[in-house]
Amino acid sequence: MEKIQLVFLGTGSAIPTLTRNHSAIFLRYRNRNFLIDCGEGTQRQIRKARINPCKITDILITHFHGDHFFGLPGLLHTLSKNNYSKTLNIYGPRGSGKFFKKVLEISGTPIRIKFHEVRGKFIENEYFEIFALPLNHDISCNGYFFKEKSRRRIKKQKIEKIIRKLRLKGSKEIKKISDLVKGKDVKINNKIFRLEDLTYLEKGRKISFVFDTKLCKNVYELSKNSDLAVIEASFLDRDKGLAKKYKHLTVEEAAKIAKISKVKKLILTHLSQRYEYEEDKLLKIARNIFPKAKIARDFMEVEV
């Protein structure tokens, strides 16, 4: 199974703290490297994490509030100074193209960039697909989920046993066995080898990102059956008046979303500076609702 690696580059909210930078997450899978949001200072966080910024292939912006994109002009400028040679695809919610035009004006970058306003499935290849769903914030905002495609795998020990038993030496016969992963039974030496006997389906993994929203239908749709859900937790229920005013989730709401959505693991991020010294309390509250909850920290690495 290929690794899916996440590096949390920034885990704070509107105001950064001594320990938390503005929002940004780096996701690495096969030959693609995604940056989800690019708050102020992200390119320095990238350097501290020893990530080569020129390896970034795609940038997903959830919305154009400063703590989620102020680092983008600087990063684009740096990429141009480092002779970035690929076409950089940047994605954002519908109606956000006008903000991105300003980013381009500020950065003055000559690199090749394509900006896409997205909703629904917007990336797909043989290995994975990525979806965007609108959230309920005070500006157009997307949540995203990455979904690996399920793959059929061969039971190697059984196959090796068959090869030895039938004394298969010809490459043509052995190559036929590879058709099993294409979902076909195979016939060798007049004997039928059944798909269900010699293969198994490896279920694809799902990772969801839910930032800056009040409770709405799509927080559950994004999180549903995720192996890992990364959900904002900007406030505690004691401050739910502020959460409602600014259209954010509370720690308690994030944990309940994970529970209802049958998430395997939950990571809380986008923490307000007002709780800088209450993280243990936040974690205890979350785990009382959803035991497999964790609090994100800058430079925390996670493998799914």
Contact 200, 153 (CB under 8 A): yes
Gap between the Cα atoms of 106 and 103, Å rounded:
5
In this structure, the chain runs to a length of 304
Strands (DSSP E) along 87-245, which ranges? 88-92, 113-117, 120-124, 128-134, 142-148, 151-154, 186-188, 191-193, 199-202, 206-210, 228-232
Annotated catalytic residue, options 37, 67, 212, 298: 67
Gap between the Cα atoms of 271 and 44, Å rounded:
20
Query: How many angstroms from the chain centroid is the CA of residue 25?
Result: 8
Gap between the Cα atoms of 201 and 203, Å rounded:
6
Structure tokens at 98: 């006008």
- End-to-end CA, the chain: 10
Gap between the Cα atoms of 260 and 290, Å rounded:
10
Gap between the Cα atoms of 286 and 250, Å rounded:
10
Alpha helices in the chain (DSSP H): 42-48, 66-69, 72-81, 97-107, 156-166, 171-177, 195-198, 217-223, 240-246, 251-260, 279-289
Q: Determine whether 67 is an active site residue.
A: yes
DSSP-derived secondary structure letter, 203: P
| CA-wise closest residue to 144 among 67, 72, 62 | 62
Residues paired with 116 in a beta bridge: 91
Name the residues annotated as catalytic: 67
